[in-house]
């Protein structure tokens, strides 16, 4: 039985743009996604992850006329965090939802064409809600990951499974929440589960068969795979990890990756080292909390940049690497959970610039531009519980930002028009202390306790426009609740973003002025997209409050406990 849809006004007159009518999605379609306005076939609206559209039909002069034309409900009782970015191809929207579901929706009517529900076993262990951040498409196949750590290939016309591949043991804490990446006919995928002492990795599989091409672990000491055989070791065993700590080292690749075709490089970020208690693992703990550049042919590491060596605050390093060119040079930018905005030379991984983008950072004084390393405030690292307190709990410190980060998973956007980055950030801190811990399969592997607290009474969330040349914050929009959704920019001079309070908003990209908003009925933690059909521009976003904030937010969670959950996708246009 198909779910009901709200179809408003003139939705019946929608036609499919010739831009998207082809037999199937090709590698060339994927490479050109950032400039093909009639489709969205990559997570990031282009492989480089800029989330910028060249469309300007909707612009600063008319965005106030934007209205909804249909809303589709994901239905049921599974209304948890909806963090996905939809895909658009050949008259159909493909979108994932909580609890590892996929929907195909008719763009003309907003009606369901098919639905796929993964059969999840009891005992799955997602750390930060039952979210899914999107799918990938290649040929006539839709790819997505499940909460029991499977990569699934579906027929895009019927929703029937073509193949399934297991990427890890869910009983050990492995799961998948990220959207896959398609590079030259290969499906690239990472894993979640760093809080359980799993080993992060990036894998490439043949898109047609699902056969493993290569696998690269992200913790030193572990062996990679290439064409069914062991290849090379990641790093050098025990170089930056003591004893056997590398065996359960974390470094999860839980956000997904980007690809730069100019340098033929896959970029992935890696999560926290395990456990959180940094005194148990002296050393840099490579390659956790890093941005890693991979060779797409064999998975070998081309270079890495570590943002928080010997991370003791769960700052991770998974945040997206966005490729951009400026002043004739090839750069990559990333906004870290640790509160610093980094610009790297993306050919060699060398640090170009690093600047704070949130206020009152306590864990480090600055980033040394020569060494690329943080200058720590040693007294702001949680203490060793065996050398302070009663041996069961170390001395607590108040650290800024909190472990949920200056910017968490929610993707930023780069505007080719303004040459600014638009970063969804949060201003908060935490009481954090260390505790003794030992590894046990399937159990939380933290060795720390924490309470997150707001820094300011009037706001936590902050959308910031950042100049990558100087690190200067050009403008800022403050939001009472934390921001937890993605950002999109367009050549119409607009920035689109949703809020936990349920508003989908459009801002002037140059000034930060709010130009339009619409109440969707539940908090927005999804990622907006836009596309063109029959000479008209459309915008879509998921609505459905959830994610890590209400689960881990401590005192901050009090600000959002009144928000209603939901599960829907809204589509907008300007009526004729």
3-state secondary structure of 550: helix
How far apart are the C-alpha atoms of 380 and 41, rounded to whole Å?
44
Enter the tokens of residue 527.
Answer: 């990622």
Q: How far is the CA of 310 from the CAs of 120, 396, 428, 522, in angstroms?
A: 35, 18, 22, 38
Enter the tokens of residue 116.
Answer: 């796929």
Q: What are phi and psi of 150, to 5 degrees?
A: -115, 145
314 is annotated as an active-site residue: yes
CA atoms within 13 A on the CB side of 511: 5
How far apart are the C-alpha atoms of 147 and 525, rounded to whole Å?
18
Task: Lay out the sheet containing 503-508: strands in order across.
Answer: 52-53, 487-490, 494-498, 503-508, 514-519
Q: Answer whether 534's CB lies under 8 Å from 12's CB.
A: no
3-state secondary structure of 256: coil
Q: What are phi and psi of 273, to 5 degrees?
A: -70, 150
The answer to whether the Cα torsion of 126, 130, 134, 139 is positive or negative is: positive
How far apart are the C-alpha atoms of 221 and 244, rounded to whole Å?
10
Count of CB atoms situated within 10 Å of the CB of 389: 16
Enter the tokens of residue 98.
Answer: 């909580």
CA dihedral 310, 316, 320, 323 (to 10 degrees): -10
How far apart are the C-alpha atoms of 22 and 29, rounded to whole Å?
10
How far apart are the C-alpha atoms of 243 and 249, rounded to whole Å?
11
Task: For tokens 């990951």, name the residue.
Answer: 145
- Cβ within 8 Å of residue 267, ≥6 positions away: 257, 258, 259, 260, 291, 292, 293, 294, 320, 321, 323, 332, 346
CA neighbor of 518 nearest in space, from 530, 501, 538? 501
Q: How far is the CA of 278 from the CAs of 89, 128, 198, 264, in angstroms?
A: 46, 22, 17, 35
According to DSSP, the residues that pair with 433 across neighbouring strands are: 449
Spot the catalytic one: 33, 148, 260, 314: 314
Active site residues: 314
């Amino acid at each position: 039985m198909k779910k009901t849809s709200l179809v408003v006004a003139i939705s019946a007159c929608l036609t499919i743009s010739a831009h998207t009518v082809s037999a199937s999605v090709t590698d060339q379609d994927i490479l050109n996604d950032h400039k093909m306005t009639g489709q969205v076939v990559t997570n990031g609206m282009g492989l480089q992850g800029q989330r910028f559209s060249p469309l300007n039909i909707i612009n600063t002069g008319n965005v106030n006329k934007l209205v909804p034309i249909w809303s589709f409900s994901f239905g049921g009782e599974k209304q948890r965090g909806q963090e996905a970015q939809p895909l658009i191809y050949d008259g159909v929207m493909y979108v994932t939802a909580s609890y590892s579901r996929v929907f195909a929706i008719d763009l003309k009517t907003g009606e369901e064409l098919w639905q796929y529900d993964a059969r999840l076993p009891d005992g799955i262990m997602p750390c930060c809600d039952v979210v899914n951040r999107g799918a990938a498409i290649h040929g006539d196949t839709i790819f997505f990951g499940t909460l029991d750590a499977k990569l699934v290939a579906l027929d895009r016309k019927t929703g029937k499974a073509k193949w399934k591949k297991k990427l890890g043991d869910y009983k050990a804490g492995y799961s998948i929440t990220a959207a896959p990446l398609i590079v030259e006919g290969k499906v690239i995928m990472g894993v979640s589960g760093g809080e359980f002492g799993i080993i992060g990795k990036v894998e490439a599989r043949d898109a047609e068969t699902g056969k493993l091409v290569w696998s690269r672990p992200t913790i030193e000491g572990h062996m990679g795979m290439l064409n069914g055989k062991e290849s090379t070791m990641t790093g050098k065993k025990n170089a930056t990890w003591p004893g056997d700590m590398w065996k359960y080292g974390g470094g999860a690749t839980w956000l997904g990756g980007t690809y730069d075709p100019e340098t033929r490089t896959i970029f992935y970020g890696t999560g926290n080292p395990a456990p959180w208690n940094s005194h148990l693992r002296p050393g840099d703990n490579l390659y956790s909390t890093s941005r890693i550049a991979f060779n797409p042919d064999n998975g070998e590491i081309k270079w890495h940049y570590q943002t928080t060596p010997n991370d003791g605050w769960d700052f991770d390093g998974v945040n997206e690497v966005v490729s951009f060119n400026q002043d004739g040079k090839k750069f990559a930018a990333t906004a870290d959970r640790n509160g610093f905005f980094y610009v790297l030379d993306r050919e060699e991984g060398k640090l170009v610039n690093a600047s704070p983008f949130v206020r009152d950072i306590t864990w480090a004084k600055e980033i040394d531009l020569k060494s690329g390393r943080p200058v720590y405030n040693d007294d702001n690292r949680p203490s060793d519980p065996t050398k302070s307190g009663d041996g069961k709990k170390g001395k607590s410190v108040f650290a800024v930002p909190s472990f949920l980060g200056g910017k968490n998973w929610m993707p930023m956007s780069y505007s080719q028009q303004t040459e600014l980055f638009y970063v969804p950030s949060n201003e908060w801190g935490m009481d954090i202390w260390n505790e003794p811990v030992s590894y046990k399969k399937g159990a939380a592997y933290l060795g720390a306790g924490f309470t997150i607290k707001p820094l300011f009474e009037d706001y936590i969330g902050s959308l910031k426009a950042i100049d990558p040349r100087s690190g200067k914050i050009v403008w800022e929009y403050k939001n009472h609740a934390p921001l937890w959704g993605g950002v999109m920019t367009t050549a119409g001079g607009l920035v689109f973003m949703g809020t936990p309070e349920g508003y989908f908003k459009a801002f002037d990209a140059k000034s930060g002025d709010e130009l339009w908003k619409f109440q969707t009925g539940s908090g927005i933690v999804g990622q907006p997209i836009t596309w063109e059909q029959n000479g008209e521009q459309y915008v879509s976003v998921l609505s459905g409050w959830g994610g890590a904030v209400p689960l881990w937010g401590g005192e901050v969670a009090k600000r959002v406990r009144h928000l209603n959950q939901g599960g829907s996708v809204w589509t907008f246009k300007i009526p004729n």
